[in-house]
Structure 1
Amino acid sequence: MPVRSVRKRVVPAVAGLAAAMVLVAQQGAAAEPRPTAAQARARLAKLEDQADKTVERYNTVAERYKGAKKRYDALDRELSRERGKVDTLRADIGSTAAHLYQSNGVTTGLPGMLSWQDPSGVLAGLAVADQMSAGQANAMAAFEAATRGLRARHAKAKAAYDDVAELLGDVGDERKRVEKLVGEQERLLRRLNQFNAGDPNSRGIRYDGPASGNARTALTFAFAQAGKPYRYGATGPGAYDCSGFAQAAWAKAGVKLPRTTYQQWAWGAKRRVPMDKLQPGDLIFSNGLGHMGIYAGNGKMIHAPRTGDVVKVVTLASYGRGRFVGAVRP
């Protein structure tokens, strides 16, 4: 049989086999049952609690990173100032050394003498009492002190930089965990037709509750954010997560809250109030400290709930009073 004829028969056969395998694979995939609405809702409820805690862990690590970065930047600026001071003193001592070298035959090499890493070498080369004025001695003492300070700040800046680098890695790891959870939440919400993208430019609603003083200022701002989307890590003005929302609202009333639920709960250690003594403006925390809201009075709270939802007012009964660990009064 001619080779060409064999090829003509083999190729269709192989193609047919491949098509059959693809069809079987597709049928197998199609056989994967989609979760029912009830299953999706149950999974979503578990994800909500898990995501709340993961988001707050991410916020906590991100805040630690910001703090470490701020410390490093401050130390780096100090280091630059010390370098400038040492450079000026080095130039002054260089002039002194050159003068002594020319007039008295001091033989120590200038490059080695002026290395800031070894100020004692400068003193050893130049500290000859009968060749130095009191002013020159003071200049060299200042140079030695400045280089000691420079070395100390350099060591601190290096340690701070190492902290920043480590925390940046932790931030990245936590962000990956959050984004995985958030992605699954969004898919389930869209599957249930419950995803609400919100409006970053929402003008909110008017607060007409019983709050007064600073609490009223905070709640007036909070209600004006209603309809804006939840987004993890966000502190406004177009989106918020739960602790970022509370922080922004009370900032309008002149109270500086820490960033995360954990930090806010700790901050309020001496400001705790029982759930049956709530007043408008109190911060309400869920069990596990994964979520929080602001009590609005009349059995209601306003909060930034979760991915796929918006800042809104809900009743404590609908959220579940048993889910709260306690409250803090700013």
Structure 2
Amino acid sequence: MRLGRTPLAAGLLIGLVLTAPGVATADPRPTVKQAKAKLERLNNRADKVVDRFNTLNEEYKKARTRHTRLDASYKRKLKTVEDLRADVVGMAVSDYKLGGDVSSWPGMFGNPDPGRTLGALALAGQMQAERAEKLAAFDRENKGLKVERDRAQEALVVADGERDKVEKERAEILDLVKDQKKLLERLGAYNAGNPNSTGTKYTGPASGNARSALQFAFAQTGKPYIYGGTGPRGYDCSGFTQASWRAAGVSLPRTTWQQWAWGANRKVPLDQLQPGDLIFSQGLGHVTMYAGNGNIVHAPQTGDVIKVVKLSAYGKSIAGAIRP
């Protein structure tokens, strides 16, 4: 009887294992809608991290530029100090060789023209004093410059470290987005876009530099969304708005957070939107451009292209808008 019950128990156990959720049964193949929804959730996370990385990267580049400038200036002034020091020493040595100890009475009386010797000595002394004062001034200035250069070096190290911390998080999220991209490709829902797209013509109601910005923006439609992209073959959301307004002669900062901060005194109510206004999502993970007639143009997310959609279909909660 024991032998007969063992297979039965084993069979029951196997049945339980096979029917245990998530153990032996395969996950159902997600639909296109589910895949896109998951991708959007990942992109919302990634937008914030990548934008934070871009912001820190901009700060790093500024710190590096400042350090490079100060370091070059410090080295130039150091060279000037060395040259002045050499001049002062050289003059002292030259005076000694020409007149021996010309300040001594024997040296003066032994010279055929003592008056001339005194004049030369006075002139040499004056020149030495002037150069010595210059040397002292440059030394003082150089010490201050060195302190500033060293502080810039410290700021550069800190900026580099902060950027590296975010880079790790950014890399992890980009790996997840890459997986979602493969999923969309398998489902036939991935739009690679055309980096050489000439877009469409803007025919909306914008005027002035806003029209120039939107003409550029519409000419980019069909190009792919690319994380960190600043053109011309693809853009991320803030890279796209920056490039569009740059074409209109307006210089925007690089990232969504920086653009929002830049426009702190340029905010406009959503019921007073005008073409060219920038619209920011809650959390500042995304930015779009209002095109007029209820439309926006933007670089949406991985697996999609720069395109024009209805503001009502945007789907993200809105933090506010600014007018460049």
**What is residue 240 of structure 2 aligned with on the other side?**
245
CA distance in 2, matches of 1:32, 1:172: 38
Query: Once the 2 structures are TM-superposed, how far is the Cα of residue 251 of structure 1 from its aligned partner?
Result: 0.7
CA distance in 1, matches of 2:29, 2:79: 66
**What is residue 329 of structure 1 aligned with on the other side?**
323
Contact 1:223 1:302 (8 Å CA) reproduced: yes
CA distance in 1, matches of 2:308, 2:281: 16
Contact 1:100 1:131 (8 Å CA) reproduced: no
Query: Once the 2 structures are TM-superposed, how far is the Cα of residue 100 of structure 1 from its aligned partner?
Result: 5.4
Using the TM superposition, name which of 161-170 and 36-45 deviates more.
36-45
The answer on 1:148 being equivalent to 2:140 is yes
**What is residue 300 of structure 1 aligned with on the other side?**
295
The answer on 1:133 being equivalent to 2:121 is no
For residues 155-174 of structure 1, give each alpha carbon's deviation from its aligned partner in whole angstroms, at most 9, with x where no partner exists.
22222122222222322332
TM-score (norm 2): 0.79
TM-score (norm 1): 0.78
The answer on 1:160 being equivalent to 2:157 is no
The answer on 1:36 being equivalent to 2:33 is no
State the SS of the aligned residue for 1:33. coil
Using the TM superposition, name which of 237-246 and 191-200 deviates more.
191-200
Where in structure 1 are there 5+ consecutive unaligned residues? 1-27, 107-128
Query: Once the 2 structures are TM-superposed, how far is the Cα of residue 290 of structure 1 from its aligned partner?
Result: 0.9
Letter matched to residue 166 of structure 2? E
Contact 1:182 1:307 (8 Å CA) reproduced: no
CA distance in 2, matches of 1:169, 1:228: 34
CA distance in 2, matches of 1:145, 1:30: 81
Aligned mate of 1:104, from 101, 104, 123: 101
CA distance in 1, matches of 2:172, 2:149: 35
CA distance in 1, matches of 2:206, 2:311: 17
CA distance in 2, matches of 1:105, 1:31: 105
Query: Once the 2 structures are TM-superposed, how far is the Cα of residue 97 of structure 1 from its aligned partner?
Result: 3.0
Using the TM superposition, name which of 137-146 and 34-43 deviates more.
34-43
Letter matched to residue 256 of structure 1? S
Contact 1:186 1:195 (8 Å CA) reproduced: no
The CA RMSD over aligned residues, in Å, is 2.5
Where do 1:3-152 residues align within 5 Å? 33=27, 36-37=30-31, 40-99=35-94, 102=97, 103-104=100-101, 133-152=125-144
Letter matched to residue 144 of structure 2? A
CA distance in 2, matches of 1:256, 1:48: 26
The answer on 1:291 being equivalent to 2:286 is yes
Query: Once the 2 structures are TM-superposed, how far is the Cα of residue 130 of structure 1 from its aligned partner?
Result: 8.7
Using the TM superposition, name which of 216-225 and 44-53 deviates more.
44-53
Structure 1 pair 134/221, CA: closer, same or farther in 2 (3 Å)? same
CA distance in 2, matches of 1:284, 1:247: 13
Letter matched to residue 30 of structure 2? T
Aligned mate of 1:274, from 269, 272, 277: 269
Letter matched to residue 127 of structure 2? G
Q: Which runs of 4+ in 1 moved over 4 A?
A: 28-32, 129-132
CA distance in 2, matches of 1:94, 1:35: 84
Larger radius of gyration: 2
Contact 2:40 2:301 (8 Å CA) reproduced: no
Query: Once the 2 structures are TM-superposed, how far is the Cα of residue 52 of structure 1 from its aligned partner?
Result: 1.2
State the SS of the aligned residue for 1:88. helix
- Identity percentage over the alignment? 47
State the SS of the aligned residue for 1:133. helix
